[in-house]
Amino acid sequence: MIIKKASFVISNTNYKLCPNDNKAEYAFIGRSNVGKSSLINALTNNKSLAKISGKPGKTQLINHFLINEDWFMVDLPGYGYAKTSKVLRAKFHKMINDYLLNRKNLICLFVLIDSRHDLQAVDNEFMQFLAENNIPFTIVFTKTDKQGRSTLAKNFNKFKATMLNDWESLPKYFMTSSIKRTGLKELLDYISALNKDFKTNQES
């Protein structure tokens, strides 16, 4: 799929105020600083669409972007950022959970995980919450450019082994780098196939 047009629509703190839900939607989530906003910008070839920062905690709202006038990408705040106040964390938690549990047109949630790290408890618990609530998700490993091929493979194998302690199988996943543009075409092709299914279901 080629992205011809990507535009910012609206930012919200409440899922009820999000745009009309008749279009397929894909949201990006993961720990603070994992590269959610960078991935959205790389996928859309637009350096300034989503706000990026070296400091964690940059994205604080539910941000909708309309792609090719046809479907939405959503940039969400990061979770598990220890330096945010307890009150603010609880507020983010409720905002994200309400969005995830109620947004009917959410086709797939991309859970971003830094490819350099082993499975963290916060990510594992979050994915378990998704599975328990039937929220479809796919893992996207980020920042693969930050290590060599063999280290990447070693880290991935460790992640997989840890995950399989709790999970029957590893969920579907992509390996990406927003800087080197690794895996972006595969991710867009995946979205394109899901968009087709969404339209077929809408028609029937």
Q: Please, which residues have CB within 8 angstroms of residue 49's CB and are 6 or more apart in sequence?
A: 6, 8, 40, 41, 65
The β-bridge partners of 7 are: 66
Q: Which is nearer to ligand GTP, 18 or 39 (CB)?
A: 39
Q: Which is nearer to ligand GTP, 25 or 114 (CB)?
A: 114
Which of 16, 65, 19 is CA-nearest to residue 45?
A: 65
CB contact at 8 A, 99 and 93: no
Q: Which is nearer to ligand GTP, 25 or 195 (CB)?
A: 25
Q: For Mg ion, which residue of 44, 59, 178, 195 counts as binding (CB under 5 A)?
A: 59
C-alpha angle with apex 21: 61 to 126, nearest 5 degrees? Answer: 50
Min dist CB 194 to ligand GTP, Å, is 22
Asked if 63 is part of the footprint of ligand GTP (rule: CB under 6 A), the reply reads: no
Amino acid letter, 192: S
Asked if 91 is part of the footprint of ligand GTP (rule: CB under 6 A), the reply reads: no
Residue with CB nearest ligand GTP? 78
For ligand GTP, the binding residues (CB under 6 A) are 32-38, 52-54, 56-59, 77-78, 142-143, 145-146, 177-179
